[in-house]
Structures are given as structure tokens and as C-alpha cells.
């Protein structure tokens, strides 16, 4: 009987420790406001294309499923753009502003390798 109580206590402790570890590792975004140009990263990175003259191409890339990025031209920093919840289109809020300078409010995440990702909540021109 004593052995079973010990095993039960050990199992209970294991479950609690695992649950705490899982919740402790969940990344948290920091509220952020970023001003930058909404860019088609495929054409920008491979051909240097950006700006109002590239807008029609960016619309085509968006329709093809290319994820847009936010380029802070003053600080030479690119931000991947994601939706603020699962199963949402990451480009939905920025789509009307392709290749234009906007201010984005959302949550900023810093991923492995230095990648900065902003979960878009609000966009203003």
C-alpha cells in the first residue's frame, strides 16, 4: 500500500511539473507599434522590387499566397507579419496597403535566429 501511495505522489508531481513547464515556455508578445512599408518579400529580396511602382505585382503575389512583410526603412529592419489568432489570413489587415507606408499596432515576437514577427491588430496609413 505504501508503495502505491509513493507511486501516486510521484506521478502527481510529474504531471504538475510537466504542466508548469508547458505553460512557462509559451512565448509572449510585447505590445508594439511599427511604421514601415508593406512589402512583397519574394520580389523585394530576390529582385529589389518595392514601392508604389511594384504594387500591381505585390497584389498578384498576395493572391498567390505570398506572406507580406513590414519593412522599417529607417532602421533597415524587416518584420514578418502574422495574424493575431489562428486560422486567420495574415495579410488581411495589410492587404489594402500593399507597398505603402503604414503604422501597425500589435504584439511583437522575437523568434530564433533574430526573426521579428508582428501579430497585426490594427493598421493605419
Collapse the DSSP code of 43 into the 3-class scheme (helix H, G, I; strand E, B; otherwise coil) and give the result. Answer: helix
* E strand map for 41-76: 68-72
Burial (CB count within 10 angstroms: exposed 0-12, middle 13-18, buried 19+), residue 11: exposed
- Residue pLDDT, tens place only, 43-62: 999 999 999 999 999 999 99
- Check residue 105 and report its DSSP letter: E
pLDDT at 2: 59
The reply to whether 49 falls in a domain is yes
Which residues is 117 bridged to in the sheet?
Answer: 80, 109
- Check residue 96 and report its DSSP letter: G
Cα–Cα separations (whole angstroms), residue 45 to 9, 48, 53, 107: 56, 6, 16, 25
Which residues is 31 bridged to in the sheet?
Answer: 107
The reply to whether 19 falls in a domain is no
pLDDT at 17: 45
The reply to whether 99 falls in a domain is yes
Query: How far from each other are the two terminal CA atoms of the chain, in whole angstroms?
Result: 70
pLDDT at 35: 98
pLDDT at 15: 45
What's 43's domain CATH number? Answer: 2.40.50
- What phi, psi does 50 have (nearest 5°)? -165, 165
Counting the structural domains of the chain, the total is 1
Q: What is the Cα–Cα distance from 62 to 69, expressed in whole angstroms?
A: 11
Query: Structural domain of residue 115, as residue ranges?
Result: 30-124
Residue 3's pLDDT band (cuts 50, 70, 90): low
Mean pLDDT of the chain: 86
Amino acid at each position: 500500500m505504501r508503495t502505491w501511495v509513493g507511486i501516486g505522489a510521484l506521478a502527481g508531481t510529474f504531471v504538475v511539473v510537466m504542466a508548469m513547464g508547458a505553460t512557462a515556455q509559451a512565448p509572449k508578445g510585447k505590445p508594439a507599434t511599427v511604421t514601415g512599408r508593406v512589402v512583397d518579400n519574394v520580389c523585394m529580396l530576390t529582385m529589389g522590387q518595392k514601392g508604389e511602382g511594384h504594387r500591381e505585382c505585390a497584389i498578384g503575389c498576395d493572391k498567390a499566397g505570398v506572406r507580406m512583410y513590414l519593412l522599417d526603412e529607417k532602421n533597415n529592419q524587416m518584420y514578418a507579419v502574422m495574424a493575431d489568432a489562428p486560422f486567420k489570413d495574415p495579410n488581411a489587415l495589410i492587404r489594402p496597403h500593399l507597398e505603402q507606408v503604414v503604422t501597425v499596432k500589435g504584439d511583437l515576437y522575437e523568434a530564433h535566429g533574430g526573426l521579428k514577427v508582428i501579430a497585426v491588430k490594427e493598421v493605419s496609413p
